[in-house]
Structure 1
Amino acid sequence: MKKILYILLGLILLVVIGIGVLVTFVNPNQFKPLLTEQVKKMTGRDLVINGDISWRFFPTLGLSVGDTEFRNPAGFAEPNLIQFKQADLSVSVLPLLSQHLDIGEMRLDGAHVFIQTLNNGATNLDGLTDKTAVAETTTGNTVTHGEKNTHWNVSVAGIKLVNASAEVRNDKTKMVAQLNHINFTLDSFQPQTWTKATFDVQGNVNALTFSAQGSTEINLAADYKNVRLKALSATMNMTDGKTEIKNAQLGLDQFNLGQWSNMTFSVNGKVPNLNFDTHGTAKVKLSTDHNVITVQGLKVTNDLVGKTLPRPTINLVVDADATYDISQKLTLVSQLSINADGTQASGSGSYLATAIPDIRFALSSDNINLDSWLPAKTAVANTNNSTTAAGAAVMNAPVATENNAKTSTAEPDLSALKNINLAGMIAIKQLTVDHANVTNVKVVTSIKQGVATINRFEANLYGGKVTGSAAIDVNSALPSYRLKNTISNVDLLPLLKAVANNNLLAGKANITTDLRGQGLSEANIRHNITGSIKVNVSDGAVYGVNIPDLLRNAKAKFKGQADTGTDTAKKTDFSALTTTLKLHNGTASTDNFKLASPLVAITGQGNTSLVNESIDLMINSEIVASGKGLDEIKGIAVPIHVSGTWQQPKYNLNIKDLFKNNAALESKAKKEINRGLEKLLGDKAKDENIKNVADKLLKGLFN
């Protein structure tokens, strides 16, 4: 027993003597050239140790390193990639005899890291990893030297990062991130033992300032290849003067590769004219190869309040499953469900994070009412009265809420279309837009290189069908557009009633539209739109005017009689109404307006201004059937002039043109007036003065 005690005392004495000799005869500063030389070989960079390297031997043996800098290559904004004021490391000596590396507290004061990406894409991290050479390989906690394996146990009393800072600068994107206050503490730990870590960070990204704090417990695997977490909790706030995140929180019950973690998060704050309160839950898993993040049961609830919303408040709930492939930068979203105040949609999609993000999606909904999300429009008065007629029904396709209203010249900002690639499909069973009911809507759309395209649009509309395509190109100073669509067998009366509260026109409509132009402001659309609209309406009626009645009243005037005052409906039936509208230089014009009916044939020509909404349309009406008191004027073309505006059209018989083109009719009208005077005045009607009065009366009536 005494021998063993003597041996132990001898070993202790030997260690003490060894430490004394080490401290006395070995100056650690002599290793500076060796360290800098090895770093130069491994990285191609300079390591500059300005401070002293000194021994520490209380409470454990260790080293302290003073001011140290690891240089950047030439051409970067700061000279150093890494620098620190003081680094301390200590190691217990006796445990080394039993292959136990017992490290004391590791402390790093005043560390600063600077990372920069230049305009040409080069960074000050380039060339570090490929030049690094490791003389011996370390696998887990087993150090290999040739054929011999030595197993070491490692423990650390703690790690402290105090008053550290960092800056990340990207000259290509003009992004500068500065972390000017970083503190990190890790309690005493060793593999397979839970220990607590805390952090506190403050900084800014360009004009955005933020701070974050948090804590978690860490368990390092025995082979050092995996780390487990539990009780992760982090909070953050940020502001840039316009956007403010008052409080953001993240919680994770545990984390282990290949296993599910329960995550909670919340964030509330505001952007201009919008306050938001968002919270959610999800199950998250990271694959064992560290490459795929899987999210299941994601549920995000957003309570939104603000003037920018279509409603004062909106509750938006999003449910989804998703995966993110880190190596491919690809996000896949499945089982997507969106509920905005009862308006629901579902689908799937993907997001590829490349220089120009690539998005794919497919969405569907049973019922969407867009009117409930749009501001209420000023009601348009019902124009089913004697001041309405066929000409305006065809010519006033774009209905304005106020005649001669000031139009906006502001172009929408669509520059974002240049920075995204997108392709997707939307299907809606029931869609309400502008009070019109549209069913079985299908839209196939895409965005690529600044061109947004609706490749295919189809829907059922009031007994008929609508198909079409459209494109907007934002690559020029003014965006250009192209629109093509076809309306087939659509019942016009309920459509016009729903969209414009307008009962002017009934019938089955077939309309082909081919339009193009430059500029998307209202003013530019009105001035620059060009193309054609071909209209064919069959088996219909024009409400608000009875053209045969107008002709009968004209006949009564010819005879010097009062208006007939018929009680027939103010309606003109027709078998076909056709026209082609040509749009150019702010005007829509037609030269082939035709309306055919059993009683009357109508042709017309004229134009309307898309800018000031005025109408100048001449319609020629001709009785083509006998009977009903129209025999005497059968075959006579009666011109009707439509003037006024889209909201207040005016209709007048052009009597002057009527008689100018019908000498026989004018002669007959004079005879009818003279006959009336003879009945009224007897023989005095033959007096020359009376005849002169009759001639003036005729001119007053028909000129």
Structure 2
Amino acid sequence: MSMPKMFKYSLYTIGGILLLLILLIAGAILFIDPNDYRDRIEQAASSQLGREVQLNGPMSLSFFPWIGLEIQDVALANAQGFAPDTMLSVHKAGLKVKLLPLLSKNLQVGTLLLDGGQVHLAKNDQGVTNWQDLMASKSAKKPADQTGQDSSSGNGADSKGSGSPTGLAALSIEKITVTDTSLTWKDQQAGTQIMVQDLAVDIGPVSLEDPFPLSLSCTVDNAEPGLQAEIEATGKAQLDMQKRIVHLRDLDLTSRTAGEAIPGGETEITLQTSLSLNLETEALHMPQMALGAFGLQVTGQAEGTSMLTAPSVNGQLEVATFNPKKLVQRMDLPPLATADPEALTAVQAETGFEATPSSIALSGLSMGLDETSIQGRASVDLAQSVPSSNFSLQIDKIDVDRYLPPADAGGAQTAKKPETKTDKPGTEGETPAAALPVGLLRQLSAEGKIQIGEMKIKGMRLEDVSLTIQAQDGKIDIAPLTSRLYGGALESTASLDVRGQTPSIRTDTKLSTVRLESLLQDLTGKSLLSGLGSVHTAVSGQGLDAGSLLRTLDGSLNLNVENGAFQGTDILHRIRSTYLTLQGKSPGSSGSDQTKFSSLEVAADIAKGKIRKSDVQLISSLFSLQGSGQLDLVQRSMDYLLKVNFDKELSGQYPELSGLEGQEIPLDLQGTLTDPRVGLNKESLLKILGQGKLSEEVDKGVKKLQEKLGISSSENEESKGAGKQDAGEQVKDALKGFLGGGSSN
């Protein structure tokens, strides 16, 4: 039950108590000795309220100088079908009115006492409340009462007061005291129960002209979600009886709240405000308020309508700058570790808002996250069983890498991940992946758009990022995601489906004419490939974490690069150097440490985390390259067999390589994505040179190769033949390392 309704029903309850007391006083005055006429008083009160009223304790009556009545053990029966049998009971209640001032229409009330009250408010599973019949009874009698009031007001004398009730020149109450009182609210429809206990209220002295002090203390126990609060409040109140407006000024409320739903188990919430509530129009005016909890400070102002029936509140809120890392520490939550220790240390926000019991909307949202500025709007629909949100955010610039978990010495992210058991062992060397929060994702219902001027993530720098998100019933779509980056463009769609037992993901991504050298340098720290590249991938996978998704990845990949180069290896120089060395000649220059090309095309299928059936075609100025192989995305390893075909123009620039024109030279591409190794296929190159020629050239070049490769020669003439054979075998063995692998540098 909302606080406005609690306030409304509390007013009704107090009004009922006051009405009961007035009826009892009227009966006491009429019958002089109220104890002698207990049955008649009970009958009159029961008839007026439509419920059984019991007077179980003694009553005392005084006349001068005060007209007063004190009663004990009064009970009002509950509505039919509600428990307990008693809706309202009072241990002791008293009221005194000064006699002589009444002659001049000046109502002076002494102490109004209510002690040991118990109030039980309830709503059944059909939505019927246990006070509904009381309101119906009051409404049925209202037309007759209004007719009488209209006729009496025709005199005009009583309607000219200065804010006092009709017929009174002034009203004052010395003190209103409520002690040891409890209030219970039980909603069977919502399955909630709230208990207010040890309620103590002190009000007064009260007058209609001036504000009067008030104080309140109580404990509140909310069974669901298991919250207990000790509340204390002080302030000043003023009643405008003519306009039916209640003013609360300088209200200072403190709530010490505890329970499992409170982060850290307990907290202190403070509220300072001033407000006015019009009981006629149900309008709320709150010109200022300050709320504090967990070190957060929120200020603002609000206006409300229909506060007692269908409350709606709108206004402005401002959250003072705070440190989220210190906030979670106060809330006894796991620490927020970031790659940049200075990240996530300054957050502030201001926004307009509109709230009803079924919705919350933020407009004109302006938020600061460290050096990042965020503008936009957001709303949440609470009417559905699963709340749904809608948002639109504009972010000027953000460095996401600053907010990622810090990296360990090896560069891997060190975010703490939950231990999970799986029926598939992890791959050796693979970084454990955090499991998808499937339960949370299945409950997610959201639709929105995010636009970012500049973004840095995993080292990559993107501009004009735009993504649209839609999540409903366990299916999350990002379509489209677009951005400008490295002189080109990104366009992508992604879909995550967690409706089944195993989540699945599907993406379609296109990169168009991006500067690969800059992209790879920022992404991996190495620029192994340069040129203007375009990439198209369409993949899908299944699994509860990133590792599982990668192992089940299926799809296709197409890569096209123009006017580029492979950095770290000069294929032409490697072939030339090896070819000349085998002939006993010096290769001379060391090459350029890169392989330039005019075009590179790769077309591949992806199956179970491996890029298979991968066809590669490269065209350079003096040769072309074709080949195929596979790349293991899980192990990040590759194994390709490539074939180099030299053009006829080769001998024009390199006469010493004329023997390679029209020949096909195999290459092995192995290693990892970050450390690829290119090697010549030894057997094929030996075949090109020819065995007879090889024997002659080996004889000429053995000594040089021995010196270069560290091979010992024969020490005596008798073993010369055997030494030549052994040397030849040693050369072949040494060439395995020189031709078949080695560093790319």
**TM-score, normalised on structure 2?**
0.76
Which residue of 447, 462, 467 maps to 1:423?
Answer: 447
Query: Is contact 2:114–2:179 with CA below 8 Å preserved after alignment?
Result: yes
The alpha-carbon deviation at position 179 of structure 1 amounts to 2.7
Alignment of 1:279-358 (within 5 A): 279-286=297-304, 292-296=312-316, 298-304=318-324, 305=326, 306=329, 307-310=335-338, 311=341, 314-324=345-355, 326=356, 329-355=358-384, 356-358=386-388
The amino acid that maps onto 1:282 is G
Match of 1:152 in 2: 167
The alpha-carbon deviation at position 411 of structure 1 amounts to 1.7
Match of 2:270 in 1: 249
Alignment of 1:213-224 (within 5 A): 213-223=232-242
Q: 1:679 to 1:361 in 2, by over 3 A?
A: closer
CA deviation string 1:206-254 (max 9, x = no partner) = 4433212111211112236221121111122223364355433221245
The alpha-carbon deviation at position 68 of structure 1 amounts to 1.9
What RMSD, in angstroms, separates the aligned Cα atoms of the two structures? 4.0
Q: Match of 1:476, SS?
A: coil
Match of 1:588 in 2: 611
Q: Match of 1:630, SS?
A: helix
The alpha-carbon deviation at position 461 of structure 1 amounts to 0.2
Q: 1:452 to 1:108 in 2, by over 3 A?
A: farther
The alpha-carbon deviation at position 459 of structure 1 amounts to 0.9
Alignment of 1:578-657 (within 5 A): 578-624=601-647, 625-627=649-651, 628=654, 629-656=656-683
- Could you tell me how far apart the structure 1 residues matched to 2:387 and 2:546 are? 31
Match of 1:482 in 2: 506
Query: Is contact 1:455–1:470 with CA below 8 Å preserved after alignment?
Result: yes
CA deviation string 1:492-520 (max 9, x = no partner) = 10011111111100011111122222235
Q: 1:410 to 1:676 in 2, by over 3 A?
A: closer
Q: Match of 2:346, SS?
A: strand
Q: 1:549 to 1:203 in 2, by over 3 A?
A: same
Q: 1:507 to 1:37 in 2, by over 3 A?
A: same
Query: Is contact 2:542–2:552 with CA below 8 Å preserved after alignment?
Result: yes
Higher relative contact order, structure no. (Cα contacts within 8 Å, ≥ 6 residues apart): 1
Please state if 1:546 is matched with 2:567. Answer: no
Query: Is contact 1:380–1:501 with CA below 8 Å preserved after alignment?
Result: no
Q: Match of 1:301, SS?
A: strand
Which residue of 399, 402, 419 maps to 1:372?
Answer: 402
- Could you tell me how far apart the structure 1 residues matched to 2:536 and 2:566 are? 21
Q: Match of 2:141, SS?
A: coil
Query: Is contact 2:34–2:61 with CA below 8 Å preserved after alignment?
Result: no
Query: Is contact 1:101–1:152 with CA below 8 Å preserved after alignment?
Result: no
CA deviation string 1:185-209 (max 9, x = no partner) = 2224244442222111223334433
Q: Match of 1:23, SS?
A: coil
Please state if 1:233 is matched with 2:252. Answer: yes
The alpha-carbon deviation at position 649 of structure 1 amounts to 3.6
Match of 1:384 in 2: none
Query: Is contact 1:262–1:281 with CA below 8 Å preserved after alignment?
Result: no
- Could you tell me how far apart the structure 2 residues matched to 1:83 and 1:410 are? 58
The alpha-carbon deviation at position 630 of structure 1 amounts to 2.9
Between stretches 580-589 and 147-156, larger displacement belongs to 147-156
Match of 1:57 in 2: 62
Between stretches 689-698 and 356-365, larger displacement belongs to 689-698
- Could you tell me how far apart the structure 2 residues matched to 1:155 and 1:210 are? 33
CA deviation string 1:563-605 (max 9, x = no partner) = 7253211111112222234332232323312222222222222
- Could you tell me how far apart the structure 1 residues matched to 2:60 and 2:404 are? 75
Alignment of 1:146-545 (within 5 A): 147-149=151-153, 151-153=166-168, 155-169=172-186, 175-205=192-222, 206-223=225-242, 225-240=244-259, 242-244=263-265, 246-253=267-274, 255=276, 261-269=286-294, 277-286=295-304, 292-296=312-316, 298-304=318-324, 305=326, 306=329, 307-310=335-338, 311=341, 314-324=345-355, 326=356, 329-355=358-384, 356-377=386-407, 404-408=428-432, 410-545=434-569
- Could you tell me how far apart the structure 2 residues matched to 1:334 and 1:340 are? 18
Q: Match of 1:568, SS?
A: coil
- Could you tell me how far apart the structure 1 residues matched to 2:82 and 2:609 are? 58
Match of 2:9 in 1: none
Query: Is contact 1:28–1:53 with CA below 8 Å preserved after alignment?
Result: no
Match of 1:677 in 2: 699
Q: Match of 1:477, SS?
A: coil
Please state if 1:567 is matched with 2:590. Answer: yes
Match of 2:21 in 1: none
Query: Is contact 1:555–1:633 with CA below 8 Å preserved after alignment?
Result: no
- Could you tell me how far apart the structure 1 residues matched to 2:472 and 2:306 are? 36
Match of 1:28 in 2: 38
Match of 1:576 in 2: 599
Please state if 1:112 is matched with 2:118. Answer: yes
CA deviation string 1:658-685 (max 9, x = no partner) = 56xx5xx25x24324225538999xx99
The alpha-carbon deviation at position 432 of structure 1 amounts to 1.7
The amino acid that maps onto 1:233 is D
Between stretches 648-657 and 670-679, larger displacement belongs to 670-679
Match of 1:399 in 2: none
Q: 1:626 to 1:135 in 2, by over 3 A?
A: closer
The amino acid that maps onto 1:280 is V
- Could you tell me how far apart the structure 1 residues matched to 2:300 and 2:702 are? 98
The alpha-carbon deviation at position 700 of structure 1 amounts to 5.0
* Count of equivalent residues: 643
Query: Is contact 1:62–1:91 with CA below 8 Å preserved after alignment?
Result: no
Q: 1:74 to 1:417 in 2, by over 3 A?
A: farther
Q: 1:452 to 1:103 in 2, by over 3 A?
A: farther
Q: Match of 2:481, SS?
A: strand
- Could you tell me how far apart the structure 2 residues matched to 1:230 and 1:679 are? 103
Query: Is contact 2:34–2:60 with CA below 8 Å preserved after alignment?
Result: no
Determine which structure has the larger strand proportion and give its number. Answer: 1
Query: Is contact 2:245–2:276 with CA below 8 Å preserved after alignment?
Result: no
- Could you tell me how far apart the structure 1 residues matched to 2:368 and 2:723 are? 83
The amino acid that maps onto 1:52 is G
Q: 1:596 to 1:53 in 2, by over 3 A?
A: farther
How many percent identity over aligned positions? 18
The alpha-carbon deviation at position 463 of structure 1 amounts to 0.3
Q: Match of 2:196, SS?
A: strand
The amino acid that maps onto 1:144 is G
Match of 1:393 in 2: none
Match of 1:10 in 2: none
The amino acid that maps onto 1:636 is Q
The amino acid that maps onto 2:617 is K
